[in-house]
């Protein structure tokens, strides 16, 4: 039913809304309620119930008064529960199968009047009440139940706060008068307890009602929309009461459940019983975005659970909200099941930089890690990787969040001793000569922090001592083509690097957007230390095309200054230009590589992929000291294309790809993980 139009003079501007912050008290719900924090009654419907109870009483009184009219020629066909005995009222009853029907009373006229029995001032309200009637019509024989139902319908129209049916005995017959009391016109709003609910949301919810008569049905919709705002955001809040004040002012009481206390409870991973945890409670609490005094949000709580799990020290995390007595607040109990904090591991892998020999690419590894040093979530990792040629020994100590810092800054201290193949730049040696390996000793410290959503910055200082070795491990300064292997001309180069890195990561999904920028600046603290600047960047963007996905990847870099030849950008291989061996396209001071892939599902975890790659040293190969690429006849640019399959595994996607290059060579590539 459309709302009655309101006089233009009644329209009030939005300044009528006033927000008042007050203490919050949520009424205790029934025990059977599924959510003891959020349960409440819809208060507009509660008002309906009150009005209808009053209407039922009024209808009963009406029937008593009607039964007192004797000798009026009223046609009665049944008994009426609230009437006098038959011999007193002169009303007859008819039996139907042993059951007496309700008494019917002939009504000559039906009128709508105000509570004083006078004509309503507003014709639209009279029309609304008349339109709500279904059974009560002039010259109709009515039962008490039918009158009562029509009283209900008038109340349920939402425009009236009371309705009293009155029977008037006239010379023309019994006149049925519905005496109604309209609701007040809405002139303003007081909203208390709404600390997180936006003012504009409430203004918009009540905007159309200013200057119009308050409609209980419409008010119920507004209350539901406000409660829905809290539900959509996972917030523990609702409209707890509403009251009509004098002058048409609505008082809206909102209850928001603030966090009263957060308790950390550790559970035994076998029995589930409470136990003593190794992690310090403050280490957990500082990770939470939910704080005391905030309105509790289930969505925020879910993110907090995910944050704790990403720390890597918990096996299971749950948050249980509980009422904090009668305060209207909520206590949070966080149940934690810790993972074993440390242990040894062993494994194996494949080095993509080694391509000669059937087993030369295999690597074995052994590691010890402690995930929760001092109960502060600090990480200690000691690892050793060993292959036929490569070997890497690392010590890493990471503090994921430095104590006392409010920006989530992490610190990593690293020491590494490695020996890796030099074949990417100085490979392709002549028969009878040994290979080249690069020995490095590296130590440094890095600091990293998020500075914008999805953006992370890293800065650090790294010292590196690096030189070339032959198969026997002896230092060498030139390769088989007489190209220098160091920039200083000595058996090794020393450098102190200032590092800066910025990473954007759209999500953990392989097809999401990624951008990485890295810069290293050599600091010549001592005269013999190298002085150079090296920048590199890579980007990736995926696009869904039906069931398939198109992935575009770009990377590039440039070096200025005096740098070690083996640090030149190498182009070609499994993670560069497929169809070429590792580093076979070229090596230079500059480079650019682009790749396009289309992947599509085949069966279960199996995927198919079509790809095309292109890479170039941008004509910079000859500017590398000794021109190692030119000495080996590398083209400096090239492309490859082909197809492959991928299958998921605990180690990541396993890739098998077949590629052809622009020199008509064919090559299989096998890799673990997605292409960089």
Structure tokens at 523: 């600091």
Structure tokens at 436: 């080249």
Angle, vertex CA 276, rays to CA 278 and CA 408, nearest 5: 40
Q: What is the mean pLDDT of residues 120-129?
A: 92
Element (H, E) at 243: strand 237-245
Contact (CB, 8 A) for 621 and 638? no
Farthest-apart Cα atoms in the chain, separation: 134
Give the separation between CA 153 and CA 53, rounded to whole angstroms.
13
List the beta bridge partners of residue 380.
Answer: 370, 397
Structure tokens at 383: 């690892």
Structure tokens at 235: 């917030």
Q: How is residue 258 annotated by DSSP? A: B
Q: Is the pLDDT of residue 371 over 60?
A: yes
Contact (CB, 8 A) for 536 and 593? no
Give the separation between CA 583 and CA 597, rounded to whole angstroms.
21
Nearest Cα residue to 198 out of 12, 16, 17: 17
57-71, 86-100, 344-358, 624-638: least confidently modelled range: 86-100
Contact (CB, 8 A) for 560 and 640? no
Find which of 103-107, 384-388, 442-446, 474-478 is predicted with most confidence, using mean pLDDT.
442-446
pLDDT over 70, % of the chain: 82
Give the separation between CA 64 and CA 144, rounded to whole angstroms.
10
Alpha helices in 68-160 (DSSP H): 86-89, 123-132, 144-156
- The model's confidence at residue 392, banded by pLDDT at 50, 70 and 90, is very high
Q: Is the pLDDT of residue 83 over 90?
A: no
Place of tokens 């905007």: 207
Q: Is the pLDDT of residue 350 over 80?
A: no
Give the separation between CA 112 and CA 120, rounded to whole angstroms.
8
Stated pTM of the model: 0.71
Angle, vertex CA 381, rays to CA 376 and CA 383, nearest 5: 175
Give the separation between CA 522 and CA 524, rounded to whole angstroms.
6
Residue 387 backbone phi and psi in degrees, to 5: -125, -170
Instruction: Say how many residues make up the chain.
Output: 676
Give the separation between CA 568 and CA 587, rounded to whole angstroms.
6
Question: What are the respective helix, strand and coil percentages of the chain, to the nearest 5?
Answer: 15, 45, 40
Contact (CB, 8 A) for 439 and 393? no
Structure tokens at 231: 């539900």
Output the pLDDT for position 70.
36
Return mean pLDDT, the chain: 84
Output the pLDDT for position 86.
38
Output the pLDDT for position 400.
95
User: What contacts 338, CB < 8 A, 6 or more positions away?
Assistant: 266, 269, 277, 278, 279, 313, 314, 315, 372
Contact (CB, 8 A) for 279 and 336? yes
- The model's confidence at residue 60, banded by pLDDT at 50, 70 and 90, is low
Output the pLDDT for position 171.
85
Contact (CB, 8 A) for 112 and 127? no
- The model's confidence at residue 345, banded by pLDDT at 50, 70 and 90, is confident
Output the pLDDT for position 604.
87
Q: Is the pLDDT of residue 603 over 80?
A: yes
- The model's confidence at residue 74, banded by pLDDT at 50, 70 and 90, is very low
Q: Is the pLDDT of residue 438 over 70?
A: yes
Output the pLDDT for position 510.
74
DSSP 413-454: EEEEEEEEE-HHHH--PPTTS---EEEEEEEEEEEEEEEETT
Nearest Cα residue to 237 out of 38, 36, 40, 39: 38
Element (H, E) at 172: none
When comparing pLDDT for 234 and 387, which is higher? 234
Give the separation between CA 638 and CA 297, rounded to whole angstroms.
55
Q: Is the pLDDT of residue 375 over 60?
A: yes
Four-residue CA torsion sign, 129, 132, 136, 142:
negative
Output the pLDDT for position 12.
33
Q: Is the pLDDT of residue 322 over 50?
A: yes
Output the pLDDT for position 671.
87
Contact (CB, 8 A) for 576 and 585? yes
Burial zone of 611 (CB within 10 Å; 0-12 exposed, 13-18 middle, 19+ buried): buried
Output the pLDDT for position 267.
97
Of the chain, the end-to-end C-alpha distance in Å amounts to: 63
Is 560 in a helix, a strand, or coil? strand
List the beta bridge partners of residue 349.
Answer: 363
Give the separation between CA 519 and CA 500, rounded to whole angstroms.
5
Q: Is the pLDDT of residue 315 over 90?
A: yes
Place of tokens 């309105």: 295
Output the pLDDT for position 65.
52
Angle between helices 216-232 and 199-206 (to 10 degrees): 150
List the beta bridge partners of residue 587.
Answer: 570
Nearest Cα residue to 638 out of 668, 612, 667: 612
List the beta bridge partners of residue 408.
Answer: none
Give the separation between CA 252 and CA 190, rounded to whole angstroms.
6
Give the separation between CA 220 and CA 46, rounded to whole angstroms.
10
Q: What is the mean pLDDT of residues 139-164?
A: 92
pLDDT over 90, % of the chain: 66
pLDDT digits (tens, 9 = 90+) for 488-543: 999 999 999 999 999 999 887 777 899 999 999 999 999 999 999 999 999 999 99
Helices (H) and strands (E) in the chain, counts: 10, 34
Give the separation between CA 447 and CA 457, rounded to whole angstroms.
8
pLDDT digits (tens, 9 = 90+) for 7-27: 333 323 333 333 333 222 223
When comparing pLDDT for 596 and 432, which is higher? 596
Q: Is the pLDDT of residue 430 over 70?
A: no
Output the pLDDT for position 25.
27
User: What contacts 270, CB < 8 A, 6 or more positions away?
Assistant: none
The number of angstroms, rounded, from the C-alpha of 220 to the middle of its chain's C-alpha atoms is 30
User: What contacts 177, CB < 8 A, 6 or more positions away?
Assistant: 110, 111, 112, 113, 117, 165, 166, 167, 168
Q: What is the mean pLDDT of residues 563-573?
A: 95
Contact (CB, 8 A) for 672 and 349? yes
């Amino acid at each position: 039913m459309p709302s009655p139009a309101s006089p233009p003079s009644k329209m009030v501007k939005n300044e009528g809304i006033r927000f008042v912050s007050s203490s919050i008290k949520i009424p205790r719900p029934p025990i059977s309620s599924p959510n003891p924090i959020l349960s409440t009654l819809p208060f507009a419907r509660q008002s309906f119930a009150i009005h209808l109870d009053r209407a039922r009483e009024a209808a009963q009184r009406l029937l008593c008064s009607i039964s007192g009219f004797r000798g009026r020629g009223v046609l009665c066909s049944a008994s009426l529960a609230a009437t006098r005995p038959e011999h007193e009222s002169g009303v007859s009853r008819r039996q139907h199968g042993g059951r007496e029907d309700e008494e019917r009373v002939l009504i000559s006229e039906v009128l709508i009047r105000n509570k004083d029995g006078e004509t309503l001032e507003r014709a639209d309200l009279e029309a609304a009440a008349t339109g709500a009637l279904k059974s009560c019509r002039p010259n109709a024989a009515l039962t008490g139940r039918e009158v009562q139902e029509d009283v209900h319908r008038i109340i349920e129209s939402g425009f009236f706060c009371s309705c009293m049916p009155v029977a008037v005995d006239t010379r023309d017959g019994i006149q049925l008068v519905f005496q109604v009391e309209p609701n007040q016109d809405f002139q303003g709003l007081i909203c208390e307890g709404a600390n997180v609910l936006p003012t504009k949301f409430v203004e918009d919810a009540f905007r159309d009602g200013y200057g119009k008569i308050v409609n209980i049905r419409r008010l119920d919709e507004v209350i539901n929309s406000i409660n829905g705002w809290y539900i959509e955001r996972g917030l523990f809040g609702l409209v707890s009461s509403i009251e009509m004040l004098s002058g048409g002012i609505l008082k809206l009481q909102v209850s928001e459940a603030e966090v009263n206390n957060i308790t950390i409870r550790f559970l035994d991973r076998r029995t589930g019983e409470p136990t003593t945890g190794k992690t310090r409670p403050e280490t957990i609490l500082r990770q939470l975005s939910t704080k005391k005094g905030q309105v509790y949000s289930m969505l925020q709580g879910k993110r907090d659970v995910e944050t704790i799990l990403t720390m890597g020290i918990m096996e299971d995390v749950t948050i249980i909200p509980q009422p904090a007595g009668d305060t209207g607040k909520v206590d949070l109990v966080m149940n934690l099941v810790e993972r074993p904090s440390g242990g040894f591991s062993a494994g194996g892998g494949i080095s993509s930089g080694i391509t000669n020999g059937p087993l030369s690419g295999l690597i074995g590894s052994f590691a010890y890690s402690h995930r929760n040093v001092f109960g502060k979530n600090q990480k200690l990792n000691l690892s050793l990787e060993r292959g036929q040629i490569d070997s890497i020994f690392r010590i890493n100590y990471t503090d994921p969040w430095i104590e006392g810092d409010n920006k989530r800054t992490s610190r990593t201290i690293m020491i590494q001793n490695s020996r890796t193949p030099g074949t990417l730049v100085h490979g392709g040696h002549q028969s009878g000569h040994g290979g080249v390996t690069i020995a490095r000793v590296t130590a440094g410290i890095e600091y990293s922090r998020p500075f914008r959503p999805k953006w992370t910055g890293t800065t650090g200082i790294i010292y590196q001592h690096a030189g070339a070795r032959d198969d026997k491990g002896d230092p060498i300064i030139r390769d088989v083509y007489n190209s220098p292997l160091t920039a200083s001309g000595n058996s090794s180069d020393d450098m102190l690097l200032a590092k800066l890195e910025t990473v954007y990561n759209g999500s953990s999904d392989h097809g999401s957007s990624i951008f990485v920028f890295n810069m290293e600046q050599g600091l010549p603290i001592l005269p013999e230390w190298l002085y150079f600047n090296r920048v590199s960047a890579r980007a990736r963007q995926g696009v869904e095309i039906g069931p398939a996905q198109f992935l575009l990847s770009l990377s590039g870099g440039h070096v200025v200054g005096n740098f070690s030849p083996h640090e030149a950008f190498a182009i070609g291989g499994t993670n560069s230009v497929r169809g070429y061996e590792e580093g076979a396209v070229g090596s230079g001071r500059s480079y650019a590589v682009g790749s396009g892939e289309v992947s599509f599902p085949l069966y279960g975890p199996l995927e198919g992929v079509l790809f095309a790659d292109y890479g170039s040293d941008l004509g910079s190969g000859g500017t590398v000291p000794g021109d190692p690429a030119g000495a080996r006849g590398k083209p400096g640019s090239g492309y490859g294309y082909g197809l492959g399959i991928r299958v998921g595994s605990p180690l990541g996607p396993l890739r098998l790809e077949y590629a052809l290059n622009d020199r008509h060579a064919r090559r299989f590539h096998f890799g673990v993980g997605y292409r960089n």
